[in-house]
Copies of this chain bind each other. A is one copy, B any other.
Amino acid sequence: MVLKLLKGSILLFLLVDFGAATAQTADDSVLIRRLADTILTDGKAYGNLSVLTKKVGARLSGSAGYYKAEKWGVAALTDASGSAGKVYLQECMVPHWVRGGKDEAFFEWSDGRRPAKGVRKSLDILALGNSVGTGPAGVTAQVVLIHDFDELERRKDEIKGKIVFYNYKFNPLFIETFKAYGDAVRYRALGPSRAARYGAVAVLVRTMGEGVDNNPHTGALMYNDSFPKIPAAAVGLRDADALAAALEGGRNASVFLRTMAHMLPDTVAHNVIGEIRGSEFPDQYITVGGHLDSWDPAEGAQDDGAGCVQSIEVLRALQAIGYQPRHTIRVVLFANEENGGRGGRKYASAAKEAGEKHLLGLESDAGGFTPRAFSLGLSDTQLAVVHPWLTLLQPYGVYEFVKGGGGSDVSPMKPELGAVVGELLPDSQRYFDLHHSRADVLENVNKRELELGAVNMAALIYLVDKYGFGQ
């Protein structure tokens, strides 16, 4: 069994180099197995997600759904943390954007002729989050097909009075789809204001994804206040292909776009927090969480119902096996990740004001898919300390620690609190088929994949609680 021998040898090699690296014992393996057993047999993650998706549903900041979700979160955390737990709300102000009606768009040739045979006339679209609307009359204008920002700059004199259609494609050559998203998402986030700068009246942007369906994916834009705020919408992939095909070669076509989106005044919402007090260091915190808000086209099952129920499950599983944490373990269901990030910033600033010491902020916001890795914002020395933990996690799917950071909700904990931040990195292949679209429903979550994410999160939280990072 050379393979096993090799693993042993690698471990030995680490021991020689890093001394205290392998503090864990056979007991850890047994305890983690018990966490896995309760999560895989008596787990509440999937059941909780069923309620959140089917009874609460969409829950954008400021919507009735969000306040319903807060109540759900309080109940679920109270149930998970038991009599030893404490559950409370942390108020924060959040933006309140509404879609305001049905988004509509179609295109036709500028000379009034019908589109060529086989080209669909109507476009499946979703107004981008935080965007302004067109008003009930809509806007009609000639479309300019733009492939990337370089082309926008070259053709800036052609933009005035037009609708810019960014057709930048998700790059399939990135194996991790989050890299393709990071590459493409600037067209959604920044594209509207960059087009407005040159006089565009509206923007269409190709959906961030490379799925086989035509579902448009919404998501937040970021207006630059120096330029006019113009309406903007995402177009489904097949319709984006059809529109691009109709426009290739410089042919003229016009698009009619109507969205009733608008921003209302900021309103009050809450982070929902549940905690179990630490037995040795009650004033030192380990935070684990996901975000409670979701986009409006569906149920926010993967984004980020999954992260919420996994985080709650960590608390439940630790309680269920009777583990007494040394540090206070806190689950946070963050408000307003999607179109403001206010909940994450509030949590970190409030903790700073209270003078709290935080060891770790761990987030799950990449979907409840089979876990593969954790990203951790660790120094080289700390990474060496935790590397041997992988032998404890690998049986449950995580085989790698990636040097990096946390997701957007825990990230503020690093500058504000000096905490280590990190996130679960599950398999990324399906996430952007669902993300921010009407396909983000419970039926596209696999129960076991969701549970295995929770198993690895619980195991990591346990290991950090027991051993720290060797600071």
List residues of chain A with CB under 8 Å of any chain B CB: 1-3, 5-6, 9-10, 13-14, 17, 36-37, 40-41, 46, 172-173, 175, 177, 210-212, 370, 380-381, 383-384, 387, 395-397, 399-403, 427, 429-430, 433, 446-449, 452
Nearest to A213 among chain B residues (CB) is B443
A-B contact pairs, 5 of them (CB 8 A): A2-B387, A3-B383, A10-B10, A175-B395, A399-B399
A6 CA / B41 CA spacing, docked (Å)? 36
Interfacial chain B residues near A212, Cβ < 8 Å: 46, 447
Tell whether A427 pairs with B387 under 8 Å between CB atoms, given A397-B175, A399-B399, A447-B212: no
A228 to chain B, nearest CB (A): 38
Nearest to A401 among chain B residues (CB) is B3
Interfacial chain B residues near A46, Cβ < 8 Å: 212
Residue among A2, A6, A37, A401 having the largest count of chain B Cβ atoms under 10 Å:
A2
A427 CA / B380 CA spacing, docked (Å)? 30
Tell whether A1 pairs with B175 under 8 Å between CB atoms, given A10-B13, A433-B446: no
Interfacial chain B residues near A10, Cβ < 8 Å: 10, 13
A263 CA / B427 CA spacing, docked (Å)? 43
A448 CA / B212 CA spacing, docked (Å)? 10
In the complex, the answer to whether A6 meets B1 with C-beta atoms within 8 Å is no
Given contacts A6-B384, A36-B175, A430-B449, 19 further A-B contacts (CB under 8 A): A2-B384, A2-B387, A2-B403, A3-B401, A3-B403, A6-B14, A6-B387, A9-B13, A13-B13, A36-B173, A41-B173, A46-B212, A175-B395, A177-B448, A212-B447, A370-B370, A399-B400, A427-B427, A429-B452
Nearest to A43 among chain B residues (CB) is B172
A469 to chain B, nearest CB (A): 13
In the complex, the answer to whether A173 meets B383 with C-beta atoms within 8 Å is no
In the complex, the answer to whether A448 meets B370 with C-beta atoms within 8 Å is no
In the complex, the answer to whether B175 meets A396 with C-beta atoms within 8 Å is yes
Q: Which of B3, B14, B400 contacts A387 (CB 8 A)?
A: B3
A452 CA / B172 CA spacing, docked (Å)? 11
In the complex, the answer to whether A41 meets B448 with C-beta atoms within 8 Å is no
A444 to chain B, nearest CB (A): 10
A383 CA / B449 CA spacing, docked (Å)? 30
A58 CA / B397 CA spacing, docked (Å)? 33
A82 to chain B, nearest CB (A): 23
In the complex, the answer to whether B172 meets A40 with C-beta atoms within 8 Å is yes
In the complex, the answer to whether A429 meets B402 with C-beta atoms within 8 Å is no
Interfacial chain B residues near A3, Cβ < 8 Å: 383, 387, 400-403
Q: Which of B40, B41, B427 contacts A370 (CB 8 A)?
A: B427
Nearest to A6 among chain B residues (CB) is B387
In the complex, the answer to whether B448 meets A429 with C-beta atoms within 8 Å is yes
A275 to chain B, nearest CB (A): 29
Interfacial chain B residues near A9, Cβ < 8 Å: 13, 17
Tell whether A172 pairs with B430 under 8 Å between CB atoms, given A1-B403, A14-B6: no
A401 CA / B433 CA spacing, docked (Å)? 30
A178 to chain B, nearest CB (A): 13
A446 CA / B104 CA spacing, docked (Å)? 29
A448 CA / B173 CA spacing, docked (Å)? 10
Nearest to A399 among chain B residues (CB) is B399
Q: Which of B211, B396, B448 contacts A210 (CB 8 A)?
A: B448
In the complex, the answer to whether B395 meets A1 with C-beta atoms within 8 Å is no
Nearest to A382 among chain B residues (CB) is B2
A383 CA / B383 CA spacing, docked (Å)? 28
